[in-house]
Amino acid sequence: MNVRFYIWQRATAAVMLPMILVHLVVIFYAMNHQLTAADILSRTQGSIAWGLFYGLFVVLASIHASIGVSNILREWGHMKARLAEMAASALGVTLLVLGLRAVAAVVLP
Amino acid sequence: MSNASDVLQVSLWRGGAEGGFKTYEVPLRPNQTILDIVTWVQRNLDATLSYRFACRVGMCGSCAMMVNGHPRWTCRTHVAKVAQKGVVEIAPLANMPIIKDLAADMRQFFDKWVVAHGAFAGSKTRADEIELIKPAEPARVAVDAAIECINCGICYAACDTVRWNPEYLGPAALNRAWSLNNDVRDADHAGRLAAVSADGGCHNCHSHQSCQAHCPQSLNPTRSIAGLKRLSTQAYLRGDLKP
């Protein structure tokens, strides 16, 4: 962990925090109004705002998690720095692809 | 030994890394310190016992050991405070290689002070005027809060991050770097900040605060490390720091 990774991890966390609160409010709203999957998709499909919101969240989560996992692999897995960074980068790319796929599934018309 | 209540069961680490604990019976005395116990064993039971001490009054930082699992300065630790049902276990400082018995190899601890630019870098000669430093200036207050380190290695032995990451510079070296980077007379602020912002530097600290919980001088290295993180972040965002 150097200053660059430190700032990226803290900055992504700072942006994700209010986004998580918005996400929780959305979940409570959907439950309270007993929205079905079809109701939700009718609101999200074609919505640029929801696409950008969850797309950004996926990017931030991928960066944040990969830096954290790299640290865990080094400290608890006793991996060499290069190997830990490669493994964590692979995880980050996987999260990014899976997350963006999920966003696309609910946003694309 | 006549009376069980007058006797301490003391387990001392013997040998190197592959060694083990050996138990001794030591007479209990009023106001006895852990260092008194170790010294009594060496003088009365086994002269081959190796350990390190110097001043015996909490100034030199030489006699730190693990006492019942916690790093402590043994010359200022009273047996009555730490004995658990008449039993005391004493081992060499954790997170350092064992030389023999209770003596830990502190080279990596001091080497990391050098890596963290722990030496004062003066910029003046004896012909220059003496720098006027006001005690109430915020930078000097920060120095004063961090400066009384006696290099005992207790914070280093208490640190989880040191245990997990051997490259981590550790609380003492980083605390020293913080005190020097707040010293207006020092001329190596940028070089030192780069050194403590690299891999193994201040950003590895998880803020568990074991260092400040165990520091015999009541210093707070976690706060110093947080200060370095702040300085480092500001320098990086200004473009002054390129890791």
B112 within some domain: yes
DSSP A41-107: HHHHTT-HHHHHHHHHHHHHHHHHHHHHHHHHHHHTS---HHHHHHHHHHHHHHHHHHHHHHHHHHH
pLDDT of residue B4: 57
Per-residue pLDDT averaged across A94-108, rounded? Answer: 95
Judging contacts by C-beta atoms under 8 Å, the chain A residues touching residue B165 are: 74-75
Per-residue pLDDT averaged across A34-55, rounded? Answer: 92
Domain end, chosen from B86, B104, B122, is at B104
Helices marked H in chain B: 34-44, 79-82, 107-115, 138-146, 154-158, 160-164, 171-181, 189-197, 210-214, 221-238
Same-domain pairing of B55 and B129: no
| Cβ-contact B203, A6 below 8 angstroms | yes
| Cβ-contact B96, B109 below 8 angstroms | yes
Q: What is the pLDDT of residues B101-127, one digit of tens each?
A: 999 999 999 999 999 999 999 988 889
| Cβ-contact B150, B60 below 8 angstroms | yes
C-beta contacts of B7-10 below 8 A and 24+ residues apart: B7/B86, B8/B37, B8/B79, B8/B83, B8/B86, B8/B87, B8/B88, B9/B86, B9/B87, B9/B88, B10/B37, B10/B41, B10/B87, B10/B88, B10/B89, B10/B90
| Residues of chain B in Cβ contact (below 8 Å) with chain A | 161, 164-165, 197-199, 201, 203-204, 229, 232-233, 236-237, 241, 243
Q: How many CB pairs under 8 A join A and B?
A: 34
| Domain limits for position B72 | 4-104
Cα–Cα separations (whole angstroms), residue B209 to A31, B65, B158, B206, B227 = 42, 19, 9, 8, 14
Q: What is the pLDDT of residues B1-17, one digit of tens each?
A: 445 568 999 999 999 99
Among B4, B2, B23, B1, smallest CA distance to B12 is for B23
Mean pLDDT of chain A, nearest integer: 94
Q: What is the pLDDT of residues A58-73, one digit of tens each?
A: 999 999 999 999 999 9
Same-domain pairing of B165 and B216: yes
Q: A2 and B237: CB-CB below 8 Å?
A: no
Name the residue among B161, B165, B236 with its Cβ closest to that of A4.
B236
Residue B84 sits in a domain whose CATH number is 3.10.20.30
**Number of residues in chain B:** 243
**Over 90: is that where the pLDDT of B85 sits?**
no
Q: How far is A8 from chain B (nearest CA, A)?
A: 11
**Over 50: is that where the pLDDT of B77 sits?**
yes
CATH 1.20.1300 fits A3-107, yes or no: yes
Same-domain pairing of B234 and B117: yes
- Mutation pick from B159, B174, B199 vs chain A, by most beta carbons of A within 10 Å, is B199
pLDDT of residue B205: 96
Residue B138 sits in a domain whose CATH number is 1.10.1060.10
Cα-trace Rg, chain A: 17
Under the banding of pLDDT at 50, 70 and 90, the label for residue B204 is very high
pLDDT of residue B3: 57
Instruction: Quote the tokens at residue B23.
Output: 């138990």
Name the residue among B161, B164, B243 with its Cβ closest to that of A3.
B243
Same-domain pairing of B81 and B172: no
Give me the percent of chain B exceeding a pLDDT of 70: 98
Same-domain pairing of B165 and B142: yes
**Over 70: is that where the pLDDT of B151 sits?**
yes
Q: Give the residue extent of every domain in chain A.
A: 3-107
Q: What is the pLDDT of residues B152-182, one digit of tens each?
A: 999 999 999 999 999 999 999 999 999 999 9
Q: Which residues contact B89 (CB under 8 A, 6 or more apart)?
A: B10, B11, B21, B66, B67, B68, B69
Q: What is the pLDDT of residues B22-76, one digit of tens each?
A: 999 999 999 999 999 999 999 999 999 999 999 999 999 999 999 999 999 999 9
**CA neighbours within 13 Å on the CB side: how many for B102?**
29
Same-domain pairing of B197 and B234: yes
Same-domain pairing of B118 and B197: yes
Q: Are strands B70-73 and B64-67 parallel, antiparallel or unpaired?
A: antiparallel
Name the residue among B164, B165, B198 with its Cβ closest to that of A2.
B198
Same-domain pairing of B94 and B120: no
Per-residue pLDDT averaged across B237-242, rounded? Answer: 89
Per-residue pLDDT averaged across B192-198, rounded? Answer: 95
Cα-trace Rg, chain B: 21
Judging contacts by C-beta atoms under 8 Å, the chain A residues touching residue B236 are: 3-4, 7
Per-residue pLDDT averaged across A77-105, rounded? Answer: 94
Count: domains in chain B: 2
Same-domain pairing of B159 and B91: no
Strand (E) or helix (H) holding A10: helix A3-32
Same-domain pairing of B48 and B164: no
Cβ atoms within 10 Å of B4's Cβ, excluding its own: 10
B243 within some domain: no
Domain end, chosen from B79, B104, B129, is at B104
